[in-house]
A and B are shown apart, each in its own frame.
Chain A
């Protein structure tokens, strides 16, 4: 089963300010980008990130072969319950994502 990490050359997550998290999935060909768009379906991505599909903004940027998701941060940056100040670890949740 092809995983997201097999078709993406890099999956990056980062804060976009203290209240948002943004995840960029970079592919190096249009074919792989199309596969990534198929694998990373909103419902599956939302489930992995512990949120609902309607909380996700999805951007398919074909010119760059990049699929991008933005969502309100699971915890506001730096509050007592936040575990990752820069939000860079969330990308790891998506690497193993497959079609099923």
Chain B
């Protein structure tokens, strides 16, 4: 037996006097990160109206959007997703995941839908799943560019038709409107592609007429799970929204939310600490007041939502940056360690020259010094010497074959290159055979733009699946 959830009782998003108290349970900052199971169980007992979790972000780099694959292992995701599906069934409320499969690209959404089907067939749950896709077709983005609907954000990067053509994946970040459309289908589970971190949490309170500034602000505080508390590892947090603001309460036994931990969270991974841009407007927290309810919960009021004139969604895109092979050699000989920069500069020059003679294709060769300045490069002025140095050779080329070929040309240099011509041939340490490690195609983020939409559902695709054991 399944019941149709009565989620949205007000037909407009305007703040309403009849706003319904809305409790959103956030199990953790992202699916795959883990959480305290007692805290989740406690959250379910508190009768939330919805469970919301994030499935990814750009933070792990462009590979995941470039390929549409997951950062976390399939078994980790399956195990946590199964527990959340069980928690959802017990609470009998919807479960929403945004940015499914790390990047929220269409292939990543399909991957999580497949896992969901597998769990459903193993556990015998009958569920309706709304699938929201955020992937954007390259040719449609070219049309949007021609129509003047794509504008740059700071720092400005140029966008051309050729660049849009070459993206392997382009996604638009869904906001509250698209998640609300998915919830209105009455689905038990919403699997959404790329979504803003906050929209999965803010959608329901907004639809029920809760305070708009409060809905977005509370969503930002909750989006990393218990990170806005004294015990981030406990994961689970409850945000309760109403017509004037919101209340934060961690579900972990020892975790505490204080006015400090909550207000400081606006700084996290946010370049402007008082504002947050979302589709359709922005949040301003300058006038927010944070008050301790008791020693573990915080009340927030006074945040403002400022509606924009146009409805803009942010775009993300990734394109190929070539093919890469890396090698690692370890230098322990103290004379070589002392003269390591001279040694690698000589290898870079000689190997680059030799490779250019033999290979007729574009490439770059870089030797990075692990143990000296591999992390910060030229910016690092505090370098101290150590007894050994790792030399990482990085070859990036226009094809897989070229990157492997040049890495093999580099091999004898890393193994035997002498500091001066009149000395015995040295030998350095290779930790592996072969020493070359092919990294595959590399990707780069290439869009920092917004797309103007006439209707929030333009460019998003919503389908409803009925899964039966």
Question: Which residues from chain A sit less than 8 Å from chain B, CB to CB?
Answer: 14-20, 22, 24, 26, 48-50, 57, 59, 61, 63-64, 66, 68, 70, 72, 74, 76-80, 83-86, 89-90, 92-93, 96
Q: Is B374 an interface residue (CB 8 A)?
A: yes
The answer to whether B375 touches A84, judged by C-beta atoms less than 8 angstroms apart, is yes
Which chain A residues lie closer than 8 Å to B448 at the CB level? 17-19
- Name 14 extra pairs, CB < 8 A, besides A20-B155, A64-B267, A74-B379: A15-B269, A17-B58, A17-B271, A17-B448, A19-B153, A19-B448, A22-B267, A50-B379, A66-B264, A76-B445, A78-B61, A78-B62, A80-B324, A80-B396
Partner of A96, one of B270, B273, B382: B382
Which chain B residues lie closer than 8 Å to A74 at the CB level? 379
Please name 15 pairs of A and B residues whose Cβ atoms are closer than 8 Å in the assembled complex, sorted by A. A14-B268, A15-B58, A19-B155, A20-B155, A22-B267, A22-B271, A64-B263, A66-B264, A68-B273, A78-B444, A79-B62, A79-B444, A79-B445, A83-B376, A86-B59
The answer to whether B267 touches A76, judged by C-beta atoms less than 8 angstroms apart, is no
Instruction: Tell me, in angstroms, the Cα distance from A57 to B154 when the chains sit together.
Output: 12
Q: Is B60 an interface residue (CB 8 A)?
A: yes
The answer to whether B445 touches A77, judged by C-beta atoms less than 8 angstroms apart, is yes
Instruction: Tell me, in angstroms, the Cα distance from A79 to B446 when the chains sit together.
Output: 10
Known A-B contacts A18-B58, A74-B379; A80 and B321 likewise in contact (beta carbons under 8 Å): yes
Q: Is B211 an interface residue (CB 8 A)?
A: no
Taking CB as reference atom, which chain B residue is nearest A74? B379
The answer to whether A83 touches B62, judged by C-beta atoms less than 8 angstroms apart, is no
Which chain B residues lie closer than 8 Å to A68 at the CB level? 267, 273
Partner of B364, one of A20, A80, A86: A80
The answer to whether A48 touches B444, judged by C-beta atoms less than 8 angstroms apart, is no
Which chain B residues lie closer than 8 Å to A14 at the CB level? 268-269
Taking CB as reference atom, which chain B residue is nearest A61? B273
Instruction: Tell me, in angstroms, the Cα distance from A15 to B59 when the chains sit together.
Output: 7
The answer to whether A84 touches B58, judged by C-beta atoms less than 8 angstroms apart, is no
Question: Which residues from chain B sit less than 8 Å from chain A, CB to CB?
Answer: 58-63, 153-155, 157, 260, 263-264, 267-273, 316, 321-322, 324, 364, 368, 374-382, 394, 396, 442-445, 448
Which chain B residues lie closer than 8 Å to A76 at the CB level? 444-445
Interchain nearest-CB distance for B149 vs A (Å): 21
Interchain nearest-CB distance for A52 vs B (Å): 13
Which chain A residues lie closer than 8 Å to B375 at the CB level? 83-84, 89
Instruction: Tell me, in angstroms, the Cα distance from A93 to B368 when the chains sit together.
Output: 19
Number of A-B contacts (CB under 8 A): 101
Which chain A residues lie closer than 8 Å to B368 at the CB level? 83
Taking CB as reference atom, which chain B residue is nearest A73? B155
Instruction: Tell me, in angstroms, the Cα distance from A17 to B381 when the chains sit together.
Output: 27
Interchain nearest-CB distance for A29 vs B (Å): 13
Taking CB as reference atom, which chain A residue is nearest B375? A89
Known A-B contacts A24-B267, A68-B267, A70-B272; A77 and B380 likewise in contact (beta carbons under 8 Å): no
Which chain A residues lie closer than 8 Å to B379 at the CB level? 48-50, 74, 90, 93
Instruction: Tell me, in angstroms, the Cα distance from A48 to B378 when the chains sit together.
Output: 10
Known A-B contacts A68-B273, A79-B321; A92 and B376 likewise in contact (beta carbons under 8 Å): yes
The answer to whether B263 touches A63, judged by C-beta atoms less than 8 angstroms apart, is yes
Instruction: Tell me, in angstroms, the Cα distance from A18 to B61 when the chains sit together.
Output: 8
Q: Nearest 5 CB-CB pairs, A to B? A: A78-B61, A70-B271, A16-B271, A72-B155, A18-B445
Interchain nearest-CB distance for A11 vs B (Å): 12
Interchain nearest-CB distance for A36 vs B (Å): 15
The answer to whether B376 touches A93, judged by C-beta atoms less than 8 angstroms apart, is yes
Interchain nearest-CB distance for A41 vs B (Å): 17
Known A-B contacts A77-B445, A78-B63; A64 and B269 likewise in contact (beta carbons under 8 Å): no
Which chain B residues lie closer than 8 Å to A79 at the CB level? 62, 321, 444-445
Which chain A residues lie closer than 8 Å to B380 at the CB level? 93
Which chain A residues lie closer than 8 Å to B378 at the CB level? 50
Which chain A residues lie closer than 8 Å to B260 at the CB level? 64
Interchain nearest-CB distance for A14 vs B (Å): 5
The answer to whether A78 touches B269, judged by C-beta atoms less than 8 angstroms apart, is no
Taking CB as reference atom, which chain A residue is nearest B267? A24
Which chain A residues lie closer than 8 Å to B377 at the CB level? 83
The answer to whether B396 touches A57, judged by C-beta atoms less than 8 angstroms apart, is no
The answer to whether A64 touches B271, judged by C-beta atoms less than 8 angstroms apart, is no
Which chain B residues lie closer than 8 Å to A83 at the CB level? 368, 374-377
The answer to whether B269 touches A77, judged by C-beta atoms less than 8 angstroms apart, is no
